[in-house]
């Protein structure tokens, strides 16, 4: 735990850094905390980096746009400590000026380690989504469209958490995904299936309505999504799936046959 004495020391050293070093483009911010004596696995504890990043962005205040090269340097040149500080700083600044800072975050994410991708979604994007979901859902959708990347997986996880926290988002989110069924989305089938499974738990009537309205589809990707999203038995689901088992399309028949077996196991 960070003591009062060390908080005072870190604040003092942060003031010195901001007054005498950062204005000269000296980006060696570790001078603020390098004297801290404790180590975890040979490294400065994460909570120290978090505290330093938070006081830096607080002390920089309204002049934050002057130091964009500094933030980028933290991410690109300062290793794990710099990336951690960058995430904490962006968590504050993206809320203030998303048009300026979200593109910086998106650029940083292109080659980000998996751990840092998760950190960005958790600490930067999720707070924004909770406050203004309709302003930022588009970012999640864009990242989810890259399902094989850490970005896609992390974005999907955050989306599912978001609709669980804000059930009012179930309808617009589901509508977005259903609209995408008009196109070939083979790579994104697991993500669409996961969304529909989550909807089943949050809004069962809406979930069943999807089967009622798409139960006559013969598109393999739609059938695979619906067959993969079964969570319990319902007669509204059984009839279309049974029909699909007679399809001449191999993908449709395979998905439906497996789904029908699962339904029979769940049938009372």
Q: Among 17-26, 73-82, 143-152, which is the least confidently predicted range? A: 143-152
Q: What's the confidence (pLDDT) of residue 71? A: 98
pLDDT at position 1 over 80: no
Token pair for 211: 């089967």
Residues contacting 155, CB < 8 A, separation 6+ = 121, 139, 140, 143, 144
pLDDT at 251 over 80: yes
> So what's the pLDDT on residue 148?
78
Quote the pTM value: 0.91
pLDDT at residue 249, as a whole number: 97
Q: What is the Cα–Cα distance from 26 to 19, expressed in whole angstroms?
A: 11
Contact yes or no for 221/189 (Cβ under 8 A):
yes
CA distances from 186 to 107, 178, 214, 223, 231 (A): 27, 14, 17, 11, 21
Give the CA distances from residue 77 to residues 52, 70, 116, in Å, rounded to whole numbers and listed in that order: 17, 10, 15
Q: Rounded to whole angstroms, how far apart are CA atoms 111 and 122?
A: 17
pLDDT at 181: 97
pLDDT band at 93 (very low <50, low <70, confident <90, very high): very high
The predicted model gives 173-179 an average pLDDT of 98
- Spatial distance between the Cα atoms of 242 and 56, rounded to a whole number of angstroms: 62
Percent of the chain residues topping a pLDDT of 90: 92
Identify which has the larger pLDDT, 145 or 210. 210
Per-residue pLDDT averaged across 193-208, rounded?
98
Q: What is the mean pLDDT of residues 159-165?
A: 98
Reported as a pLDDT band with limits 50, 70 and 90, residue 110 is confident
Name the token pair of 197.
């499974």
Banded pLDDT at 80 (limits 50, 70, 90)? very high
CB 195 within 8 A of CB 226: no
Mean pLDDT of the chain: 96
Q: Are 216 and 251 in contact (CB under 8 A)?
A: no
User: Is it the case that residue 157 has pLDDT exceeding 80?
Assistant: yes
Quickly state the pLDDT bin for 147 (edges 50, 70, 90). confident
Per-residue pLDDT at 149 exceeds 90: no
Q: Is the pLDDT of residue 186 over 90?
A: no
User: Whole-angstrom Cα distance, residue 122 to residue 155?
Assistant: 9
Alpha helices per DSSP H over the chain: 4-20, 46-60, 68-77, 79-96, 98-109, 114-120, 126-131, 133-144, 150-165, 170-180, 189-202, 204-214, 220-228, 235-244, 250-266
């Amino acid at each position: 735990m960070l003591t009062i004495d060390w908080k005072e020391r870190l604040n003092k050293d942060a003031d010195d850094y901001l007054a005498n070093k950062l204005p000269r483009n000296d980006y060696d911010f570790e001078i603020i905390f390098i004297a801290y004596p404790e180590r975890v696995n040979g490294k400065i504890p994460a909570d120290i980096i978090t505290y330093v990043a938070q006081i830096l962005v607080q002390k920089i205040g309204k002049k934050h746009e002057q130091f964009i090269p500094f933030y980028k340097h933290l991410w690109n040149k300062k290793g794990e400590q710099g990336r951690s500080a960058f995430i904490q700083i962006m968590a504050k600044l993206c809320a203030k000026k998303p048009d300026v800072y979200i593109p910086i975050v998106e650029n940083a994410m292109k080659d980000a380690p998996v751990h840092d991708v998760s950190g960005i979604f958790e600490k930067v994007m999720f707070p924004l989504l909770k406050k203004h979901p309709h302003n930022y859902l588009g970012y999640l959708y864009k990242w989810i469209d890259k399902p094989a990347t850490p970005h896609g997986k992390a974005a999907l996880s955050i989306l599912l958490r978001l609709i669980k926290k804000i059930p009012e988002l179930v309808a617009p989110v589901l509508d977005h995904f259903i609209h995408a069924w008009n196109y070939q989305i083979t790579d994104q089938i697991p993500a669409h299936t996961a969304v529909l499974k989550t909807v089943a738990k949050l809004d069962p009537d809406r979930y069943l309505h999807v089967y009622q309205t798409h139960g006559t589809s013969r598109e393999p990707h739609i059938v695979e999504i619906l067959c993969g999203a079964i969570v319990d038995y319902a007669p509204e689901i059984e009839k279309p799936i049974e029909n699909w088992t007679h399809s001449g399309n191999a993908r449709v028949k395979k998905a439906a046959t497996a789904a029908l077996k699962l339904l029979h196991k769940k049938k009372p």
